[in-house]
Structure 1
Amino acid sequence: MLSRFNKIQIKQLPCFIRFYSIASPKTKVVQTTDEALEGVGSNITLLSGGFGLSGVPDTIINAMVNNPNINNVTAVSNNAGLDGRGLSQLLVTGQITKMISSYIGGNRTFEKLYLKGEIDLELTPQGNLAERVRAGSAGIPAFYSPTGVGTWLEEGKLPVRYDSSGEKVLKSSEPREVREFNGKKYLLEPAIFGDVAVIKAFKVDTLGNCWFRGAARNFNSVMGRNAKLTIVEAENIVEPGEIQPEDVHLPSIYVDRVIQSTTPKEIEIFTFSEEESTLDSSLENPKSDSELKRAKIVRRAAQEFKDGSFANLGIGMPTLAPNYLPSNISVTLQSENGILGLGPYPKRGQEDADLINAGKETVTLAPGASLFGSEESFGMIRSGKIDLTILGGLQVAANGDLANWGLPGRVKGMGGAMDLVSNPQNTRVVVVMEHVDKKGRPKILDSCVFPLTGQKCVSRIITDLAVFDIIDEKLILIEIDPSSSIEEVRAKTAAKFEISPNLKQIEI
């Protein structure tokens, strides 16, 4: 005779079986780009993953070129790739009428169309761009950010559209609402909500779970979470279970369609390790006056690192400074496209399209490195987790204001620079630059003439002639080049400065 307990078990058993007999979810894999783009029309906000040429969904973008159904597109992307590749193709065909980006970069097509008044450009600091997309993906309509306080971003002076001559600004950005929290100012940033997202992943299962390789996660993960329709271009399509659950970077709930990638991966800038390249020969054996100045600056900048610290380096001279680190100093380098623990440049033949730095150069990973998306990278930066950032400069004011992203008539975009200087209370900002420009004009001024990157953010200035500290908005000369003099420094500095009682010669 069955017990009451056994009777209950038997009655529940069919339900138990039916619960685990649910059919497997339908595959999201499509076979053609026409299927992938079905229903994608005009007047849309298009989110496109990628950073430079890394992680760009070229197969899908190529299929959009000259598609008569896709026009009047507002494209959201860090940049627009290079001429003839990526979103740049949709600029040429006139399908993109507005870009929301942080950087024009070396894309001449993008720059030409912008300066001829043929497209709108909403310039957005790179970290704010990532966070605006992340906020939209989370259903948050706006947020306050410290990035851009006191700059054209706050004031609403960023040129959105020029006239055909490129001389007159027809439309400018909207001024930002300012609010103070705990004694610090923040700007209200609106979220971005996408209609369609096109992204690229290294491995995707048929359900839509995505795994990104190396630094190719960049903007792909956050873009993929945002849109009403997300199309993933996969280098490898696998069966469910072949990606371990803990390795899923973008869950299938965000993905609508998956298509096989058919385009090769490209590298924008090949950079190799010292023994394989002559990249640093000008620093080792400077032959010109310009090379000598550069060598002095880079070698002196290397002394700014502290053992055990985390640092972010701007493009150009800052990236060379770690080559001259003392052997007893260990520093973890961060790259804002999603790397913590940059290693040296690769040897020739070992370059990897999925491992690039913020300057689009090929890199390697140091032991203990970690990888993440751009939204997390800039979260580290804004919150002050980075101890030191070294940046190039066009102008620095005596009070610590920095201008390093735009010249009159030559607005290329700020990239991540505004974010990098947004928390000077926690992140020490060091600027490296020649003391005067190519025309002999001082670059250290009472106040900056060029558009600001950040207000009162610079702690130290290193030039070929001197080292200055900025303390309580006062410029103080602390080191001087042995071949220079105080008289020369005064003559080439367009700002008053004090001389430290402990003034010493620069040692490199």
Structure 2
Amino acid sequence: MLSFATKVYIKQSPCLVRFYAITHQKTKVVQTTDEALQGVGSNIVLLSGGFGLSGVPDTVINAMVNKPEIKNVTAVSNNAGLDGRGLSQLLVTGQITKMISSYIGGNRTFEKLYLTGQIDLELTPQGNLAERVRAGAAGIPGFYSPTGVGTWLEEGKLPVRYDSTGEKVLKTSEPREVREFNGKKYLLEPAIFGDVAVIKAFKADTLGNCWFRGAARNFNSVMGRNAKLTIVEAENIVEPGDIEPEDVHLPSIYVDRVIKSTTPKDIEIYKHTEDDNTSDSSLENPKSDAELKRAKIVRRAAQEFTDGSFANLGIGMPTLAPNYLPKGISVTLQSENGILGLGPYPKKGEEDADLINAGKETVTLAPGASLFGSEESFGMIRSGKIDLTILGGLQVAANGDLANWGLPGRVKGMGGAMDLVSNPQNTRVVVVMEHVDKKGRPKILEQCQFPLTGQKCVSRIITDLAVFDIIDEKLVLIEIDPSSSIEEIKAKTGAKFEISPNLKTIDI
């Protein structure tokens, strides 16, 4: 309560009245989830932050389960968490009838409902997803993106809904308008406009200013800017001024309600470094043919890094390549969930739920690292700031087409792969994979048979038998494994290739 003297002074000083009103704004903190969700009903577009299990607003999502007034929801999220966690719960209850996501991942509930025709799924490349939300937040109805040119995204062939058997596609995506700028094709992507956003912050003040910790900013900051109603669950609620102005990642103008987070943070995949040894034992001492092939590919891939470069690595074998960097080579690794400057895996007991990579594995930060949102991460990627990306592959065509995200009847989603290969003029794309599949069929073909990730985007292919370059849309053999032969490679390659006059043996 104000003292008598203060009241008199305020009465005589109108400027002080205005200042007092500014510094004593109404709190946005609510005490219960019922208050947080007040007015949230059916037929909404729901934006949910998080990547894997990192930064997922579980407290608010848990409270939405079985609320009968919240139904027929279109949910926008990179993925839907895991079985029993995150948005997956609203899939089980039938409250979500459509997902707009880039990746199903290991969520069996999500996959089953999609493949048995119980929900719609609008698959969207991860970078386009972030940018569609960012555009909606900025009042921009659409934009042109290089991601997905020449793929099912452009052609309108992405399965949106299956029949109950999962064998027949009942509904497909809308074809994209194509336009050419400076001799390059782009697709028109519609913005996403949300009704309600639920996000998670490490710290929020009572006015709604938010600070995100580690890589948990991911989709949280961009989704928090978009919706008509933004609900923040915060691990820590502080007073105004406790977050430095330059540390505010999401300004209070975007936030409507703040509630205390009461759910523990989980880690999806634990990966560790023991005694500063980051190598994989199966690569050091391969005991099977599969391990030997993997070791050859990873060690050869490590030679692709150049000193001072920026690189993005796909999940699986590519993430192991930095363990075998040549001496004197320094590389900055980027992860599309918002990290530039990935360090090694943590030691046991030092894991941090807010520090994961694109494969949802625990990581650390290298000295000089920086953190940002997914929308900025993919801006770096599309604009060609990343010098090198190493990806796995299902099939590569002789002209450089890549297929690495879907098989017939096994559509998991493209994640960020389409974005990563969208600017091959500036980002060198190297694919690592076994030369043949488990049935002995060639994976290097004249034309890809599986849905494309990108057209004419691959520069180099590294397999357990050989290294090929793709030059002017022609396949050229440049290196051969010492245990192989030209005859074997011809027999196991489903495309014609030239042999470099400077053909050499792979040296690892």
Quote how far apart the aligned CAs of 1:18 are: 3.2
Distance 2:465 2:223 in 1: 45
Quote how far apart the aligned CAs of 1:21 are: 3.1
Q: Which 5+ residue runs of structure 1 have no aligned equivalent?
A: 1-11
Distance 1:204 1:165 in 2: 46
Distance 2:13 2:422 in 1: 61
Q: Which residue is 1:70 aligned to?
A: 70
Quote how far apart the aligned CAs of 1:278 are: 9.5
Q: Which residue is 2:206 aligned to?
A: 206
Structural mapping, 1:9-28, within 5 Å: 14-22=13-21, 24-28=24-28
Q: Which residue is 1:418 aligned to?
A: 418
Q: Which residue is 1:146 aligned to?
A: 146
Q: Does the 8 Å CA contact 2:134/2:222 hold for their aligned counterparts? A: yes
Distance 1:263 1:20 in 2: 38
Distance 1:99 1:427 in 2: 31
Distance 1:143 1:157 in 2: 21
Distance 2:97 2:136 in 1: 22
Shift in CA distance, 221/275, structure 1 to aligned 2, threshold 3 Å? same
1:37-81 C-alpha deviation (Å, 9 max, x unpaired):
000000000000000000000000000000111000000000000
Q: CA RMSD in A?
A: 1.3
Secondary structure of the structure 2 residue equivalent to 1:440: coil
Secondary structure of the structure 2 residue equivalent to 1:301: helix
Distance 1:464 1:327 in 2: 23
Structural mapping, 1:243-262, within 5 Å: 243-262=243-262
Distance 1:334 1:227 in 2: 29
Shift in CA distance, 276/90, structure 1 to aligned 2, threshold 3 Å? farther
Q: Which residue is 1:3 aligned to?
A: none
Distance 2:63 2:197 in 1: 14
1:262-286 C-alpha deviation (Å, 9 max, x unpaired):
0000000000015488971110000
1:433-489 C-alpha deviation (Å, 9 max, x unpaired):
000000000000000000000000000000000000001000000000000000000
Q: Which residue is 2:134 aligned to?
A: 134
Distance 2:274 2:143 in 1: 44
Q: Which residue is 1:5 aligned to?
A: none
Secondary structure of the structure 2 residue equivalent to 1:475: strand
Residue type at the aligned position of 2:331: V
Task: Confirm whether residue 101 of structure 1 aligns to residue 105 of structure 2.
Answer: no
Distance 1:21 1:279 in 2: 59
Residue type at the aligned position of 1:420: L
Q: What TM-score, normalized by structure 1, do the two folds share?
A: 0.97
Q: Which residue is 1:313 aligned to?
A: 313
Distance 2:364 2:278 in 1: 18
Distance 1:107 1:279 in 2: 29
Residue type at the aligned position of 1:108: R
Task: Confirm whether residue 337 of structure 1 aligns to residue 337 of structure 2.
Answer: yes
Quote how far apart the aligned CAs of 1:326 are: 1.6
Task: Confirm whether residue 186 of structure 1 aligns to residue 186 of structure 2.
Answer: yes
Residue type at the aligned position of 2:99: M
1:19-45 C-alpha deviation (Å, 9 max, x unpaired):
323251100000000000000000000
Secondary structure of the structure 1 residue equivalent to 2:225: helix
Superposed structure 1 runs of 4+ greater than 6 Å apart = 276-279
Q: Does the 8 Å CA contact 1:297/1:464 hold for their aligned counterparts? A: yes
Q: Does the 8 Å CA contact 2:283/2:294 hold for their aligned counterparts? A: yes
Secondary structure of the structure 2 residue equivalent to 1:111: helix
Q: Does the 8 Å CA contact 2:82/2:106 hold for their aligned counterparts? A: yes
Q: Which residue is 1:463 aligned to?
A: 463
Distance 2:18 2:257 in 1: 27
Structural mapping, 1:193-272, within 5 Å: 193-272=193-272
Q: Which residue is 1:409 aligned to?
A: 409
Q: Does the 8 Å CA contact 1:276/1:348 hold for their aligned counterparts? A: no
Q: Which residue is 1:363 aligned to?
A: 363
Q: Which residue is 1:9 aligned to?
A: none
1:365-393 C-alpha deviation (Å, 9 max, x unpaired):
00000000000000000000000000000
Residue type at the aligned position of 1:21: Y
Quote how far apart the aligned CAs of 1:13 are: 7.5
Q: Which residue is 1:8 aligned to?
A: none
Task: Confirm whether residue 446 of structure 1 aligns to residue 446 of structure 2.
Answer: yes
Q: Does the 8 Å CA contact 2:278/2:345 hold for their aligned counterparts? A: no
Quote how far apart the aligned CAs of 1:494 are: 0.5
Shift in CA distance, 279/114, structure 1 to aligned 2, threshold 3 Å? farther
Equivalenced residues, count: 498
Q: Does the 8 Å CA contact 2:278/2:323 hold for their aligned counterparts? A: no
Distance 1:369 1:185 in 2: 34
